[in-house]
Amino acid sequence: MPKAPRIPSADGKRLTVSPPLNKAALAGIAVAEGNALRRLAQECFEISISVLLELGLSRSDTAVAIKHALRGRNKSKPSLEILGRYSQVGDMLSLWRRDKRYSERDGVPKVIPIYGKGATFERLARKCAPGIPVKHVLDIALHQCDVTLSTKKTVALVGSNVLIFSKKPHVTMAALNDNLRNLAMTLTRNVKLPAEKKSQGFFQRRVSGFMTEKEFLKVAQALRPQLQDLCDIIESAVDTAKGTNRSKRFNCGASLYLFQDPSDYYSSKERMALALPRVKD
């Protein structure tokens, strides 16, 4: 192996530059990275399979789904079809809060009639969720949103624009797929940016540490209004209308969530010792 060249530095001292790796070393690194990627792919499938089993899908049906995913050429997006109705109701709530016709002078959403002409729930539903029966939109709004009956013929938006998805397994999986797809696109876009353009990457951060259950619930409750304020700012900046193909408008936004991992993986001293880098004295 050739000796490492010595390059004089600005202060006169000689700096040693590591010699370039030979083909065998590079091949070894490539094999190690390939093995790591396969292990990570296995972990990805294990996470997905665990969630699917928890949601009630059998192992045989899970295996069929994986087989179809590997063979499929066209990327299916049934999650967007399932969540589409909820998105329409969310757009309706946003319009209810932002449109002056549906707001009082102080900006508070009006109590509006369910049916009829003018500023009514029916008109909101037909504009944002065309093709869906108004009664069905009303059921979603009353059960999944901060909408309540003021009288038998009027409704009020009493809280935020928060829309809680149905707790049915297929809806939960659709929401998970949608979030995973968006996160994956952000990560892959950021990693493709050259080093000198890092500041142009989409914001993506992860903050974690250790707390007791009581501490975590306290922090989660304190953060809720701040996170909601951030969602409101983003919501006020986006438009629910897609526009024409010529306008080049893309679906943009943010997904915020808190997490708590109850597994004992991180509490294992042996695993922590393997994960932490060793620093020489």
Number of domains in the chain: 1
Query: Among 41, 126, 36, 132, which residue's Cα sits nearest to residue 84?
Result: 132
Confidence bin at 279 (pLDDT 50/70/90):
very low
Residue 105 included in any domain: no
Residue 207 has pLDDT above 50, yes or no: yes
The one-letter code for the residue type at 25 is A
pLDDT in tens, 105-164: 888 899 999 999 899 999 999 999 888 899 999 999 999 888 999 888 999 998 777 788
Residue 28 included in any domain: yes
**Per-residue model confidence (pLDDT) at position 72:** 74
Residue 29 included in any domain: yes
Residue 138 included in any domain: no
CB proximity list for 82: less than 8 A, separation 6 or greater: 170, 171, 174
Give me the mean pLDDT over the 95-108 stretch: 88
What residue has token string 């102080």? Answer: 106
Residue 217 has pLDDT above 90, yes or no: yes
Residue 35 included in any domain: yes
Query: Among 15, 32, 29, 51, which residue's Cα sits nearest to residue 175?
Result: 51
C-alpha dist (Å) from residue 156 to 42, 85, 111, 142, 149: 48, 20, 5, 10, 6
User: Under a CB-based contact definition with an 8 Å cutoff, are residues 97 and 109 in contact?
Assistant: yes
| DSSP per-residue codes, 123-165 | HHHHHHSTTS-HHHHHHHHHHHBSEEESSSSEEEE-S-S-BPP
Q: What percent of the chain has pLDDT over 70?
A: 83
Query: Among 8, 3, 42, 32, which residue's Cα sits nearest to residue 19?
Result: 3
C-alpha dist (Å) from residue 106 to 66, 110, 226, 254, 265: 53, 10, 22, 28, 51
Residue 50 included in any domain: yes
The one-letter code for the residue type at 93 is L
CB proximity list for 265: less than 8 A, separation 6 or greater: 271
**Per-residue model confidence (pLDDT) at position 33:** 80
Q: What is the chain's mean pLDDT, rounded?
A: 83
Write out 71-89 in H/E/C secondary structure.
HCCCCCCHHHHHHHHHHHH
C-alpha dist (Å) from residue 127 to 120, 155, 184: 11, 17, 32
User: Under a CB-based contact definition with an 8 Å cutoff, are residues 16 and 6 in contact?
Assistant: yes
Domain that holds residue 61: 23-71
Residue 147 included in any domain: no
More confident residue, 71 or 13: 71
> Whole-angstrom distance between the N-terminal and C-terminal Cα of the chain?
30
CA distance 259 to 235: 23
pLDDT in tens, 11-46: 555 555 566 667 777 777 777 787 889 999 999 999
DSSP β-bridge partners for residue 109: 103
Residue 97 included in any domain: no
